[in-house]
Amino acid sequence: GSLVYDPAGPAGSLHLGAARVLDDNWTGTSTVPSRGLYPHQWSWDSAFIAIGLRHLSPLRAQTELETLLGAQWADGRVPHIVFNPSVPLDAYFPSPDFWRSSTAGRAAGAPRTVQTSGIVQPPVHALAVWLVHRADPGLSWARAFLPRMYPRLAAWHRYLLHRRDLGGGGLASVVHPWEQGMDNSPCWDAPLSRVTPAPARSFRRADLDHGAAEDRPTDLDYGRYVRLAADYRDGGYADGGGAFAVEDPAFNALLIASEHALACIAQELGAAGTARHARAERLTAALVERLWDPAAGMFFCRDVHDGGGSGAHGTERRSRSGADGTERHSRSSAHGAERRSGSGALIRERSVAGLLPIVLPALPRDIAAALVRTASGPHFGLGGDTRLVPSYDLAGDAFDPHRYWRGPAWFNTNWLLERGLRLHGEHARADGLRAALLDTAQESGFAEYVDPYTGEACGALGFSWTAALTLDLLH
């Protein structure tokens, strides 16, 4: 980076502040996302955390990923939460007694000793393992880090590309909003509307002990999350039968970026990486084929279970934001895409997830250029109206600058955009976004998420991936 390390200067104090957050949140074997709200280990958090931790302590960064991958199931899935047995059950919901991984997950090969959830999160791990290795190859080789991680990562990708290809088009589906990581994104409104919520009295939300209710998902959202997760558990965590199946552009883009990283790891271990690079390129083509919308200039989610009836109608009603009059065009082009690609229908909501394929090196140039235009336009305001890119369409009906994934800006998505802009040669825009990320991290106290216009802190403070990705940008 351009900022020179100076403990007395502003970059130095930012560095020290970020390091302190990560020290405070370190448990000895992994890092909690936040001491109060999220007192266990989360899957994609740990990947982002390791990417920052490698600059402070490559050993801790390796340990973080080893702890997570040590809780992998025999079918290859990496659970979205690894529970800390010394934390009281009522500190977080849903707790281990809800998931019952070691009994309900036995057929799927859940570990016997450690308790985990049974769903997954975005596969950022191979990318994290590769970056952590490169931060200190000597230590990595001495600890056989890559030889131990490679087979686990390969099994993880195999699970996603085979067991989770629920749409039949080569992409992985998520079966729960928590899996994609943007829990209450307006993208899920239509597919979730088909899920009968569990009664509110059947569970207790521990999140409301720590977070403001108006910054969090609603009780109705939670009822549906609980129903979907309980049904998945009661089916032994077998894939294919659930009510919710969505192909998401961010989840799949991160899988593809990680497949490229896995190719690099294979090469480093002396194997040929060419087959994996080629697979990543084929997956990039499948992503474009199934999820790209040329008129909107971005990627959309595909609702695998939408037969094109009431779901499509409801989505149309919800997404009529009309700021630049593109809706009509994008709907008709979506019909074309649906005919070509078969299963399901596109969900016509503009989420930041639909910009994140910009991290892909094999993305066609015209698509990368269109993503930059869309990010910089009225729906996301990059370099213009907003400080940081929001999680959801500024002009969308559902936009709310404070409610979680329905508008606030998050540091992980903005970090990914910054990387993607740089990858495609957009250095001025990347520099502007980097400066805004560093300022906002400092001013907000490493907040979990912020108002995209003002940078006002929302959710937890001292949030680990905010601190970790700040450190990464400083290096």
Q: Which of 75, 136, 183, 268 is catalytic?
A: 183
Closer to ligand 9WN by Cβ: residue 33 or 396:
33
Closer to ligand 9WN by Cβ: residue 265 or 467:
467
Residue nearest to ligand 9WN (CB): 33
Coil, strand or helix: which one is 81?
strand
Q: Which residues bind ligand 9WN (CB under 6 A)?
A: 33, 38, 42, 44-45, 80, 178, 181, 183, 207
Closer to ligand 9WN by Cβ: residue 133 or 216:
216
| Strand duo 345-347 + 409-410: pairing | unpaired
In whole angstroms, the minimum distance from the beta carbon of 84 to ligand 9WN comes to 14
In whole angstroms, the minimum distance from the beta carbon of 162 to ligand 9WN comes to 24
Distance of CA 384 to the CA centre of its chain: 25
Cβ–Cβ < 8 Å for 243, 228: yes
**Residues in the chain, how many?**
475
Cβ–Cβ < 8 Å for 56, 18: no
Q: Which of 231, 303, 448, 472 is catalytic?
A: 448
Coil, strand or helix: which one is 214?
helix
Q: Does residue 75 carry a catalytic annotation?
A: no
Say which residues have a Cβ less than 8 Å from residue 8's Cβ, sequence separation at least 6. Answer: none
In whole angstroms, the minimum distance from the beta carbon of 194 to ligand 9WN comes to 21
| Dist CA 218 CA 65 (whole Å) | 32
Closer to ligand 9WN by Cβ: residue 38 or 150:
38
**Kind and range of the H or E run holding 449:** strand 449-450
Residue 292: closest CA among 322, 325, 324, 252: 252
Closer to ligand 9WN by Cβ: residue 242 or 273:
242
Token pair for residue 278? 């080629």
Closer to ligand 9WN by Cβ: residue 253 or 280:
253
Residue spans of beta strands (DSSP E) within 253-332: 292-293, 298-299, 301-303
In whole angstroms, the minimum distance from the beta carbon of 42 to ligand 9WN comes to 4
Residue 185: closest CA among 333, 456, 390: 390
Q: Does residue 426 carry a catalytic annotation?
A: no
In whole angstroms, the minimum distance from the beta carbon of 116 to ligand 9WN comes to 12
In whole angstroms, the minimum distance from the beta carbon of 181 to ligand 9WN comes to 4
| Dist CA 321 CA 396 (whole Å) | 5
**Kind and range of the H or E run holding 199:** none
**Kind and range of the H or E run holding 174:** strand 173-174
The catalytic residue positions are 183, 448
